[in-house]
Amino acid sequence: MSRDTGFKVRSGALHAEGVALGRIAQAVGTPTYVYSASALRAAARRFREALAPIPRKSLAFAVKANSSLAVLSVLRDEGFGADIVSGGELTAALAAGMKAGDIVYSGVGKTPEELAQALRAGVGHINLEGEREGEVLAATAVRMGVEATAMLRVNPDVNAGTHAKITTGTRDSKFGVAFADAIGIFDRLSKRPGLTLRGVAVHIGSQIMELGPLESAYRRIGELVAALRARGHAITHVDLGGGLGVDYHGGSDGDVTAYGAMVAKVTQDWDVTLMFEPGRYIAAHAGVLLTRVVWVKPGEECPFVIVDAGMNDLARPALYDAWHEFAAVAPNGATMRAHVVGPVCESSDRFAAGRLINRVKEGDLAVLRDAGAYGASMASCYNSRALTAEVMVEGDRFAVIAPRIDAAAIRPQVVPDWLDAHALDHAA
């Protein structure tokens, strides 16, 4: 997808579809995430079309990438289920109208309460990331009088070739069970009443641009499927995770068509339903973070453009040195070299270092592009800043889909109600 899908300069001003971003800033203020519904749909369709050669499949959007209900609803209408990692994401997916059966629940630290919540909701698949979790899930299902349907997430020990902080399938990674242990764990868990193990799951990381590591991981999973079948296990599903990356510099994204062809080739004899969990590929280009320049202040090497968005609103640059293009909403053709920084009291609150950007001045509007995935969903109230508002644009209309929330409303002042720990001991 071109990242211009949804966001284009028209008559000298950046628009989200038919709506000038200046109009949104006027109505909602800044900083604000702005999403294009058409860009979301376009990416969702491109992903599905690329998987056309795969006969049996299900698609689940990784809710961690963007958990706004309006975004999830658009993807639900595109036939996506949800890949979730917490009870909160389960609540969000259900609230967005996703069917429980279309939800797959991953995560290394699901609590017993969250497992019970998933069973109560009737979640389609629970991706087990450890043997003990499977034992507790089975026991909980028996107690509740239901059958849990699950998959075993396996760590294939493949380096995804992405940023070290978002690689998830190497030997020392906390995710899934070690490849060498997988068969033993599968054998044991499949004997547990209350638990139907349908297959295996793999996810080696995020922002993966080369298909080689994905192909290596999938081939290992293919060997495992064959070995499990040889031991009499009925393997009906394999979850291939997410991870396909996008280009944040305006170039080509991970090649989704080649990805579809590779998956079709590697899995042609598997005879299973394949599950996919894309997040970034679907949402990244469909959103920008709209911000206003507060000050332009001289610096030793170049000026500081200080914007009203901070690392609490968009954490990726501070966390992974990630690149998001900074662009003026009303570019005039001139450029400047500057540091673009936020107001937060950390030196890592920096969106661009000595970068050539559109010339901006105090009060101008600008955007950080490609912020639709892992933007708002990772926002916090650090420095007691408000939680950023979110807006969805569709054609010439826009709607606030998440209001700006004051930090004080999230952490209201309470009068401490002191409990005497010793008195509680006596009561127990």
Ligand X SMILES: N[C@@H](CCCC[NH3+])C(=O)O
> Whose Cβ is closer to ligand PLP: residue 15's or residue 220's?
220
Q: Which of 78, 83, 133, 313 binds ligand PLP (CB under 6 A)?
A: 83
- Phi, psi dihedrals of residue 261, rounded to the nearest 5°: -65, -40
- The bridge status of strand 273-276 relative to strand 57-62 is parallel
- Choose among 368, 381, 422, 397: nearest CA to 32: 368
Work out what residue 220 binds among ligand PLP, ligand X, none; the CB cut-off runs from 5 to 8 Å by kind. Answer: none
Site for ligand PLP in 175-214 (CB under 6 A): 203, 206
Cis peptide before 303 (omega within 30 of 0): no
Please give the Cα distance from 277 to 80 (Å, whole number): 9
How many residues at the interface with ligand PLP, by CB under 6 A?
Answer: 15
Instruction: Dig out the tokens for 383 from the structure.
Output: 């420095």
Please give the Cα distance from 363 to 90 (Å, whole number): 40
- Phi, psi dihedrals of residue 326, rounded to the nearest 5°: -105, 125
Work out what residue 316 binds among ligand X, ligand PLP, none; the CB cut-off runs from 5 to 8 Å by kind. Answer: ligand X
Site for ligand X in 358-397 (CB under 6 A): 374
3-state secondary structure of 141: helix
Please give the Cα distance from 324 to 350 (Å, whole number): 11
Instruction: Dig out the tokens for 101 from the structure.
Output: 């059966």
Work out what residue 385 binds among ligand PLP, ligand X, none; the CB cut-off runs from 5 to 8 Å by kind. Answer: none
- What x-and-dash track marks residues 340-359 binding ligand PLP by CB under 6 A? --------------------
Chain residue at closest Cβ approach to ligand X: 374
Q: Which of 3, 198, 316, 350 binds ligand X (CB under 6 A)?
A: 316
- The bridge status of strand 57-62 relative to strand 81-84 is parallel
Work out what residue 243 binds among ligand X, ligand PLP, none; the CB cut-off runs from 5 to 8 Å by kind. Answer: ligand PLP
Site for ligand PLP in 100-129 (CB under 6 A): 106
Least gap, CB of 397 to ligand X (angstroms): 29
> Whose Cβ is closer to ligand X: residue 87's or residue 241's?
241
Please give the Cα distance from 85 to 249 (Å, whole number): 29
DSSP string, 54-82: -SSEEEEEEGGG---HHHHHHHHHTT-EE
> Whose Cβ is closer to ligand PLP: residue 83's or residue 313's?
83
Q: Does 207 bind ligand X (CB under 6 A)?
A: yes
Which run of H or of E encompasses 331?
none
In angstroms, the Cα distances linking 181 to 129, 131, 215, 217 are 12, 10, 21, 16
* Catalytic hit among 230, 334, 345, 419: 345
Mark the binding-site residues for substrate, compressed into ranges.
Answer: 280, 316, 320, 346, 374
- Choose among 369, 339, 377: nearest CA to 61: 377
Mark the binding-site residues, compressed into ranges.
Answer: 243, 277-280, 316, 320, 346, 374
Q: Does 242 bind ligand PLP (CB under 6 A)?
A: yes
DSSP string, 332-376: -S-EEEEEEE-SSSSTT-EEEEEEEEE---TT-EEEE-S-SSSSG
Q: Is 381 a catalytic residue?
A: no
Work out what residue 242 binds among ligand X, ligand PLP, none; the CB cut-off runs from 5 to 8 Å by kind. Answer: ligand PLP
Contact region for ligand PLP (CB under 6 A) — 141-149, 235-243, 311-319, 391-399?
A: 235-243
Site for ligand X in 112-171 (CB under 6 A): 166
Q: Which of 3, 41, 57, 64 binds ligand X (CB under 6 A)?
A: 64
Q: Does 316 bind ligand PLP (CB under 6 A)?
A: no
> Whose Cβ is closer to ligand X: residue 58's or residue 206's?
206
- Catalytic residues, by residue number, are 345
Q: Which residues bind ligand PLP (CB under 6 A)?
A: 62, 65, 83, 106, 168, 203, 206, 241-243, 277-281
Q: Which residues bind ligand X (CB under 6 A)?
A: 64, 166, 206-207, 316, 374
